[in-house]
């Protein structure tokens, strides 16, 4: 059971407001964590904050006091470099104290640069090598079905990650086996480490690609909380095929000075943390 047990609640304004506030906290803590660590990936952490807020505080079944509870749903951060946002969500959910966030990437910390299921409560799959998360999710979802369980699996992918051939092998397998308890979400911010996805490896027509692989496709604004919740609800109702949610996002979302750089094609802050001075300005913009 989630600590915010509203899975059956209507998507009213109070729920939208609460989840949006959680997303704001995820963004804030992601920025602070990476600056304190002088390492990490702020851009892609900011772009997926709304998605993580919706998944962890409305959608997933879990018990932070019993992270290995068998009845929990599974979440896999395939774009493992967005670990700061993931850790921020786990801390809010109660898997570990918020103070642990400031130890990101420090020696002896439970919070590695990429998610490690052996060290961090609430992490169900170690990720970081791009392209592997969807394969893991297919295996988990298929296992649940074979065991007659109703657990669901959610996998968050980056758009640059779709360059990996293993993603499409997994997509083909999921459709072939009609794995309908699996939902993939693509953080489609159109930027990756070394530039725009359009120039590095054009993903379009991305909708047609996923449909051709046998998936039910939902397109949303990845920063519109109601659209995110509606898409997650729709995915649960689809039978006989897996669902992919294409969430169109903005890298650096919430911090205009970062958004402008990414939209102009400058990907410096994909994997470069802000300085203390830049952080102060970014937090001011975030709450402005």
Residue 4 domain flag: no
8 A C-beta contact, residue 81 and residue 114: yes
pTM of structure: 0.95
Residue 65 domain flag: yes
**CB half-sphere exposure, 122, CA atoms < 13 A:** 24
Using alpha carbons, select from 163, 197, 199, 191 the residue that is nearest to residue 269. Answer: 191
Domain that holds residue 189: 13-286
**CB half-sphere exposure, 272, CA atoms < 13 A:** 11
pLDDT in tens, 234-275: 999 999 999 999 999 999 999 999 999 998 989 999 999 999
pLDDT at res. 10: 61
Residue with token string 């009213």? 12
pLDDT at res. 241: 98
pLDDT at res. 1: 36
Angle value at C-alpha 202, between 200 and 204, nearest 5 degrees: 165
12-32 core/surface letters (b: 16 or more CB in 10 A; e: else): eeebbebbeebbbbbbbbbbb
Rg (CA), the chain: 18
Q: What is the CATH number of the domain that holds 82?
A: 3.40.50.970
Residue 69 domain flag: yes
Percent of the chain with pLDDT over 90: 90
Percent of the chain with pLDDT over 70: 97
Pairing label, strands 153-158, 191-192: unpaired
pLDDT in tens, 70-114: 999 999 999 999 999 999 999 999 999 999 999 999 999 999 999
Residue 3 domain flag: no
pLDDT at res. 253: 97
Note every long-range contact of 228-232, with CB atoms under 8 Å and residues 24 or more positions apart, other chains counting: 228/50, 228/51, 228/54, 229/11, 229/15, 229/16, 229/19, 229/54, 229/58, 229/59, 230/11, 232/54, 232/55, 232/58, 232/59, 232/183
Domain count, the chain: 1
Residue 5 domain flag: no
| Gap between the terminal Cα atoms of the chain | 34
Residue 6 domain flag: no
pLDDT in tens, 201-218: 999 999 999 999 999 999
The two structure tokens encoding residue 253: 């979302």
Residue 129 domain flag: yes
Residue 262 domain flag: yes
Mean pLDDT of 49-64: 97
Q: Is the dihedral of CA 45, 47, 49, 55 positive or negative?
A: negative
Torsion of CA 2, 7, 12, 13, to 10 degrees: 20
Contacts of 176 (CB under 8 A, 6+ apart): 214
Q: Evaluate if residue 15 carries a pLDDT over 50.
A: yes
């Amino acid at each position: 059971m989630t600590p915010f047990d509203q899975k059956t609640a209507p998507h009213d304004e109070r729920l939208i407001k609460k989840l949006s506030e959680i997303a704001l906290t995820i963004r804030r803590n992601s920025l602070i964590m990476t600056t304190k660590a002088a390492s990490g990936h702020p851009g892609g952490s900011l772009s997926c904050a709304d998605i993580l807020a919706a998944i962890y505080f409305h959608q997933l079944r879990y018990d932070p006091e019993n992270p290995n509870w068998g009845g929990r749903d599974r979440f896999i951060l395939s774009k493992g470099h967005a670990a700061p946002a993931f850790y921020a969500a786990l801390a809010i959910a109660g898997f570990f104290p918020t103070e642990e966030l400031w130890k990101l990437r420090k020696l002896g910390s439970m919070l590695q640069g990429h998610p490690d299921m052996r060290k961090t409560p609430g992490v169900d799959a170690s990720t970081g090598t791009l392209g592997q998360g969807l394969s893991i999710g297919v295996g988990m979802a298929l296992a649940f079905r074979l065991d007659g369980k109703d657990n669901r699996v959610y996998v968050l992918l980056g758009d640059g990650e779709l360059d990996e051939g293993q993603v499409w092998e997994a997509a083909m397998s999921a459709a072939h086996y009609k794995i309908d308890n699996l939902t993939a979400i693509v953080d489609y911010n159109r930027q990756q480490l070394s530039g725009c996805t359009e120039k590095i490896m054009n993903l379009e027509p991305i909708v047609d690609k996923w449909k051709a692989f046998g998936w039910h496709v939902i397109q949303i604004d990845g920063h519109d909380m109601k659209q995110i919740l509606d898409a997650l609800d729709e995915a649960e109702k689809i039978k006989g095929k897996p669902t992919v949610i294409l969430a169109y996002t903005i890298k650096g979302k919430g911090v205009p000075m970062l958004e402008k750089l990414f939209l102009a094609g400058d990907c410096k802050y994909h994997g470069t943390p802000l300085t203390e001075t830049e952080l102060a300005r970014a937090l001011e913009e975030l709450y402005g």
